[in-house]
Structure 1
Amino acid sequence: MEKADSKSRILVEMKQVTKAYASRKKLFTRSSPQVLALNSIDLSIAKGEVFGLVGQSGSGKTTTGRLLVKLESPTAGEIFFNKTPISQLKGPGLKTYRSRVQMIFQDPYQSLNPHLSIAETLLEPLIVQKIGTPDTRTEKVIHTLDTVGLSPGEAFFNRYPHQLSGGQRQRVAIARAIVLEPQFIVADEPTSMLDATIAIQLFQLLEQIKETFGMTFLFITHNLAAARYMCDRIAVIHDGHIVEVNTADNIIRHPEHPYTKQLIKVQPGFKYTR
């Protein structure tokens, strides 16, 4: 069997990527010191893979996701999508990239525009990408709402985010991410603000979406149990460094890095083989 990181199967690759932010300027200093959110990380994600990025708050995992969807740019290094460096994308190439790469944000309360109906939220990317006619776009939105479990889709068409529960809002956020049928989705802590029962339902939904559409996922989380459930491979990130990459089972059963062992130690019900 071909290895998961085989060059021929890599969809997303980060090479020596660094992201620095200016910290608050101190009194009597001429320049602002920099804080490294990511420090020369290397990462590769295979086509069709669910790849987990696990770390505690402030580890750099959300920054990684934002760089991959081009919400931010790296300070150094390069990101490749289908072997193309995304820093070089402009005009039509960048527009195409934005249709192929989408993000599910952590907070469904903030990620949805409260002034747009659910229909407007899902129609917007189709209109921007000039996909279909008004009628086919409407059909696509209804079908997508049905796909994420908001059924019948017509019943949610004219609702607004404040009229939905937290779980329903996150389903809308997922629908917005998949309506263009992208190749790659960054899911940034997509269930962390939901209760356990709803979270499990959304994990199952994401699995169904992956199987139905063959999408590739980066699943960002602080929760090793969630990562083990969802992911083929897991990278552990700590203070802007990737400290360990392995299959999900091997990360849990045979961790190598002290930080990974500490994460497992504080995770209820997890043990590892020394």
Structure 2
Amino acid sequence: MIKNSIKKNDVFFITILFLLIIVSSIVAVLSFYLVHSSNMVLYKIFLNILVIVTTFISLLLFMNGIIIIKLLKGKSISCISRKIVQISLSFIYTNTVNLSRLLGLDKNKIRSVFSELNNRLILLSNTHVVAEEILVLLPHCLQKSSCPHKITNHIDNCKRCGLCDIDKLIELKEKYNIKLFVATGGTLARKIIKETKPKAIIAVACERDLSSGILDVKNIPVIGILNERPEGPCVNTRVNLKKVEETIQYFITEVNFTKK
């Protein structure tokens, strides 16, 4: 079972930012019309429309907030609620990151919450495919920085010395017959996705690359796994191999059961 990795203080953090988005949006729009309106008749018409629209948006955002909190706490939600969050997730994420930047807060915390929220939505959707349709995308920083055998073009160039996690990931590739590629950036990742045509993606990356990648991929379920950085960002990173294998098993479980 893939566990929820979000802490309670992260749920509180994202909730406060979410409420700030609602309040600041309403105040900003109201202020704009109050300052720029000179015709009182038009002003009253616009004000009434504005009140209705902002009330509707506020209620919608408030509903999203409740659903998101339930998701982050690991609770199940209805299919309709899941669709609502999926549609609004891009807007919520972008504005929350922008607000956190203005407030000088940690953007990576927002990004990790977004990735976890996306993972929860994918897990609730019960997406299952055959192993050959799974693509695992890896960052090049998983490879030992001193290794002369570059694996960006062909991961089989790895000499399987075991000094980094690439060896164990190739073992998973051989065990489950999944697709395994290393991408140096978004452009190459999109090229790999276009060529391999997967039906499910497991992406390993840092918070920034994971969140941007999840937003970039359309119509394919993506589960993101944060890499571990014992030596700092972008050098000799690691990944939780157990979590990668559990995610592969999640995607293929129902298919294998059906075959039996």
What TM-score do the two structures reach when normalised by structure 1?
A: 0.32
Q: Which has the higher contact order (CA 8 A, sep 6+)?
A: 1
Considering fraction of residues, name the structure with more strand. 1
Computing the radius of gyration from Cα coordinates, the structure with the larger value is 2
What TM-score do the two structures reach when normalised by structure 2?
A: 0.33
Considering fraction of residues, name the structure with more helix. 2
